[in-house]
Every structure is written in C-alpha cells, then in structure tokens.
Amino acid sequence: MLDAGVAPRQIAGLSVFVDHADPQLFYLLADAPRVRADPRPQLSLTLFRGDAAGALLELETVLAPTPEQLEEVRRTLEAEGGAPPRLGRPDFREGTVELAGWMQTDELRPLTVSMGPPSLVGDPSAIVAARLDAAAAAMIEQALREGDALPTAVLYRLELLGLAGPLGIEVEADLRRVHDRLVIEGALTSPIGRARLAKTWDELATQEVVRVRVLDESGDVESRRAEALTRVGEDLVAKMLQATPPASRPATPAAPGAAVELSFRLSKQRDELETTARWSYHERSVRRIVHHAAANLIGVLGDSPIDEHVTYVDLAPPRRELVVRTEPELPALGITALEVELWLGEAPPEDGDEPPNDQPVELEETRLFATLTAEQGEVRLPVRREAAMPLWHRVRARFDPERTHAADRGSGWQPALGSTVVLSPRRLFAPRSLTVVTGRLELDWLDHVEVQVAAPDPEEPARTLVLSGERRSARADFLAAGEGPLTVTASYRGKDDEPSLAEPPREVADDEELLVLDGPFAPSVRVLVVPLPVAGVLSIVTELELRHDDWVQTRSVSWDLPDTSSRTVALRRPRGVESRYRYRSTMVHDDGRVEVGEWVESEAPALVVGAEGEVVVHRVEVYVPGGPLARGALAMELLLASGEASTSAVLEGSADAVELVLVAPKDGPEPVLSVDEILLSGESRRREIHGPSAHEVIVGTDPED
C-alpha cells in the first residue's frame, strides 16, 4: 500500500510515492490534468447569440501521466540502481472535479462553472457538460483564445488511502516502584475501581515510573502514545493484580443479569518482581491522503485551430445526434448490459404512465432507447431536438447470472446536460468492497492468513483472501452484497512446526471499507538458552513449555558437547496469555546415566544450563557498517569480558555483524567490550567500551570515532 510516512518525490511533473513493503513499486500521481485528445482535444464551446446569450461547454479531462513522463520517471529510478522499478496507480476512493475561474467586473470575484465527481476507473477522468450564462461563456471563450484573461482552471481533488508511520514507541517500567505506588493507593487493603486504576497509570507515566520514548514522530504521536500506555497498563494488571469476588454475600439477592462488583488486589510480593520491564511497539496507521491537481485552460488547445472547438449558433438549428456512453468496466462489475431510456421534454413520465402526446410536431421522437454492452460502449442516436429542450435518462443494469445471484437493478430519472450522456455503472449500482490489511502480526513464522468474507445474501458466493509476508493487503469485491454487514472469518496458518489458530467470525458494518487484522497472537516469548560445559556430560537437551488452559506450546533444543553455542527459542502465545513459561534440562553422562531435571517456572529472557551459583547473561550485538574494510582494517577482534569470564569473535573483510553472549557471575564487574583492529598498514588500533548496550553496539565508519 502507498506509504504516507515518506514524502513523495517530484519527477517530470509527477508526485512519486513509494510502497510500504515493496521497494521496487512506485505510485504515480499527475500534478496537472489535461484535456483528453483522440487525436484532437475533446473540448467544445457552443456560444448562443440573442436575448438568451450564454453557451454550452463540453470538456473531457484526464489526470494521467504522459508517455514522456512515464519514460522519464522510469529512467530516473533505474539510474539509482537495484531491480527494475514497477510503476502503478494509487487506489482512489472518491473525489471532485471543479471548473472555475475569475471574473474581472467592478470587483474581482471567483466563478464556479461546474462541479461533480470524476470517474475513478483507471486514470481519473471527468466530462464537464455545463450550461453557461453570458458572463461564464465570455470567461471560457477568452481563456481559450489566450487573450487578456485571468486564470480559468480545471481542479481535481482526490482522496486515496495510505499507511502512515511506522511510529516507534518504547516503554520501560520500574516494577518495584509501580508495586510501591499501588500499595500507597490502597491496592493491598481496599478495592481499586477502574477509574482509580486508570488515574494511577497516568500518574505513573507523569512521574516517569513508566517511561515512554518516541523513536520517531511520523504519524499520530499522541494517540499512539496513549494506546501504548493502555497496553502496558493491561499487561501490568495481568502481571501484578488479580480480581477477587466480594468478601461477603449481599443482604438482598441481586437482580438477574446484574453486574458483580470485583475488587483488585496485588498478587505478587515486591521482592518477587524483576527490577524493570520493557515493551516495544512499531506500528503503522491508515490515513486518507488528499491530492490536488490543477491546470489552466489558457493555451490548452495547443496547435489545434480554435474554430474547430468554438462555434456560434442563433438558438435555432436543432442538434442532430445524442451520444450515450458508459465507462469500460461492465465485465468487472458483472453487468452484461445497460438498458438506457431517454426522454425529451420538460418532465419525464411517472412509472406506469403512458408518455404524453402533446410534444411539438417538429420532434420526430420523445422517447429513445439504447443498449450498452462491453463490446458496444457507445451508441449514437439521430434525433431532431431543439437546443434548449431538456433531456432525461434512466438506466437498468442486467447482471450476469453466472457471477452473481443479484436481481436486475434500475435507477430513477436524472437530467442530462448537452448532447452526451456518460454513465458510470459503478456509481449508479455501487458494488461492495472491503480491503483487508495485516496489522500487528509476526509474519516471520506465519505462513499465511486465510480470510473469508461472506455477504449478507447467503446465495452470494463468499470471497477468500490470502495474506502473507509478500502480500499484506487484499480486497474483496461483491457485485451485489445485499443489505447488512459483511461477515469476516480469519484463520492464521503457521509454518511447519508452528501453531495455527482461527478467530471467531466478526461483522463489518456497511460504511467500513478497511479492516486491519491484528491477529489472535501476542508477541512471542523469545528465550536465549546458553549451555555451559559440564564435566562428564556428553549431551544436553533443554525443553521449554508455555501452557495456558488448552494451549500448549513446546520447544526443545539439544547440544552434543563440546558444542556450547547459544540458541534462541521462540514460544508462541495467544493474546491474553502471560509470558511465564517453564523449562527443564536432561543431561546424558559418559557413564550412561541420564539425569532429568525438575520443571522450573520462569519469565527470564535468558537461561543458563549447567551453571553453578547465580549468573547473568550479557548479550551484545556488534554492527560495523561495511565491515572492517570500510574502516581501513584487515580484521577486527572483539572481546567481551567481565572479570575472569570472557568470550570473543573475529570480523574479517566485509563481514559487518556478530553477536557476543557472555555468562558471568551475577555480582561480577561491569562488562567491557574490547575492539582490536588490524589495519591494512600493519598497525593496530584498540578501543574499549565499558557497559555496552544490551541491544546493539555500532562501530562507526570514521577511523577516529
């Protein structure tokens, strides 16, 4: 989907947006509409002479890139390297087109000649068919003749969807200070109401007991910050509080269906808690983007002779032809034919009435019929018609019975301007569309998400959408869904050895066009397991298990000593399931004994197997942009040490990343990361980083850093 968090580039008069997931997909929006030409410009201005001076303007415009602009954009993007770019158009949702100008009278005043919706099939386009008074007619004629005229412009206003962000927010809470504050608030001795509890979280954030850090400010910062605090509050409630029923039975029985008031009490002692807890949210949001495009009518005809477009009449000669045209989208809407009825006269007949027979004798016909299909999208009807004679039309759509069970539908009478009737079946008989986008999902272990969208009409076939890491959004279209909400059922399919889960059906209201799937899974519990060499042990197997009601997620890792490489284990969990897990280790000794350990419950992000005494795991990721060669070095030796405990690694050439995992005594000294570089000149360079970040250490490309 179009990435609204990245500013568009301007190339060859086009606004070029990037895709939020595909770096080779670009969306193009023209900044100026142009008059459609096939090959002559589609513009006609008929000026009326006489007492009822004025004009009839017929103008067809399109907002689309020219072949020269497309070639320039493609050439510019290819020059930047990478795979060949793919050029696309945004998914326009709605818009307006306005023809307006300025009148130079006693005072300068704006004048709107015409306003209406554009066609959004393919490139946005619009046909203006407007009756002008004498002042507007003079303004349009002067603009076309490139005289001393003020600007007269065609203005497009289009709305499209885009993904804003990503907005990154990190939260850190001091659990023991939170515990102290809840005790002060009376959490241990009295019930805490929902309002009181919410006030407590707000005060904790204000006093920096709960600290919020915004990594960037793209998107709606305040609302996302509030949402992050809400989620953190829910997690803290689940971790530290438990709901208890009333201590005593009420004197009078409660009415059927009455709510039972619960108390909330602290479920853990202060010393049982970890010092801090951290949360990280990196999310996007959907927003509507408004795109404005405008072009001046002055000089719009180019080399085309103006006399081929501007004519004068004395309000007497009849127009000899009516044109009925439809947009080329009938097959996409499942419509086999449009039956059009035209009426010439002051007012069309009511349904069931015979047409009046008091029309002027010089009119050969008052009622005309035309049938439009995918093969014949335009019909021309010869007719004797006075220039000022009103024209009405109504339409009936015939649906393809092999594609939908919807009944044929018809529109009411509508007035038509000029001699061209342009029909938009998508607007007359609007289909139902629903776009489904993946939200907070870990798509690295999910194979795909299968989404079934069912219409209210049970005879209308359901649509099945498949979302994955490569395809994060899809749209379901219904030709005639019927009245009522759509029903959406999502099934999340895991990859091999990964769990799957299906959500219960949900309803989507008629006015909702976008559904964001956050999924039934909470962030995975990721545990770093580090084995230590044990004398007389040949192999180690560690089992980890996360259990909640009927949900059981089990993983195991094994080592054949002397291999003691650390492993990261991910335990999947549904939403609402806490991150507490249990583990046990089995050791096979060289004398044939098999030692099976006891199950131990934990919430620690790292486990050490075979440790004697209390230990701590230091985990540091080192990143060197471009590798040692970018710093003028042949190799880089890395040593992470805490007291007598140490671990090392070597980066050579263009290798740019390595992870160091060190197991050290809990009361040991602060770890130190030593970086020794062997320069291409034969010299060496050394630096030390005391207390390196637990997440990542970046060694810059500047040799003097």
Task: Report pLDDT digits (tens) over 81-118.
Answer: 878 898 988 888 888 888 887 765 545 556 777 778 88
Helix (H) or strand (E) holding 323: strand 319-326
In the block, which residue shows the tokens 């040991």? 668
**Mean pLDDT to the nearest integer, 464-474:** 92
Reported as a single tens digit per residue, the pLDDT across 614-624 is 889 998 999 98
* Structural class in CATH, domain 617-698: mainly beta
* 318-351+362-430 and 617-698 have identical folds: yes
pLDDT tens-digit readout, 603-654:
999 999 988 888 899 989 999 888 999 888 999 999 999 988 999 999 999 9
Q: In the predicted model, what is the mean pLDDT of residues 525-545? A: 92
Domain residue spans in the chain?
166-250+261-284, 318-351+362-430, 432-519, 523-612, 617-698
Cβ(128)–Cβ(59) below 8 Å: yes
**How is domain 523-612 classified at the architecture level of CATH?**
Sandwich (2.60)
Which structure tokens are listed for 231?
């989620």
The CATH code that applies to domain 318-351+362-430 is 2.60.40
Structure-model confidence comparison of residues 378 and 237, the more confident one: 378
Task: Decide if pLDDT at 61 tops 50.
Answer: yes
Q: Is the pLDDT of residue 260 over 50?
A: no
Q: What single-letter amino acid sits at 181?
A: R
How far is Cα 232 from Cα 116, in angstroms, rounded to an integer? 48
Residue with tokens 């904790």: 204
Amino acid at 53: A
* CA torsion through residues 517, 521, 525, 526, sign: negative
Q: Which of 2.40.128, 3.10.50, 2.60.40, 3.40.50 would CATH assign to domain 432-519? A: 2.60.40
Residue 348 · residue 413 · CB < 8 Å: yes
Burial 401-421 (b: 16+ CB within 10 A, else e): eeebebeeeebeeeebbbbbb
pLDDT at 601 over 50: yes
How confident is residue 362, by pLDDT bands cut at 50, 70 and 90?
A: very low
Q: Position of tokens 């770096």?
A: 23
Structure confidence at residue 700 (pLDDT) = 63
